[in-house]
Amino acid sequence: MSGGHFDYRDRYIDDIAEEIESVLFRQGKLKPKDELWNSKDFYDKYPEEKFYPTLPDEIQQKMKEAVIALRKSSIYAHRIDYFLSGDDGEESFIERLNEELELFE
């Protein structure tokens, strides 16, 4: 066995964290051509539309906090999944949970 109690949906938590990190990382960068769907005239008139928006500092900070919370939530969900699936006993559940949280910190 290797988890599965949550039908592996616990993995989606990491996907959300990664998407938020991606949004933060690409701020102010030029969009790839396949995302530029408007005409050349439009981008000549609105050149800022060729770039990903840069979010206000407070929003960025909250998104960074969300990534941390989601990463921790992912650890909890994963370890609980293994426990409920019978892969971890009571002792190993606590031990592995604490180890993973400590590594995260």
Domain that holds residue 40: 11-104
In a domain, 19, yes or no: yes
- Greatest C-alpha distance within the chain: 65
Higher pLDDT, 60 or 105: 60
Strand-pairing partners, residue 51, are 30
Is the CA virtual torsion 84, 92, 67, 8 positive or negative?
Answer: negative
Please report whether residue 78 resides in a domain. yes
What are the pLDDT digits (tens) for 23-74?
Answer: 999 999 999 999 999 999 999 999 999 999 999 999 999 999 999 999 999 9
Number of structural domains the chain divides into: 1
The whole-number pLDDT of residue 73 equals 97
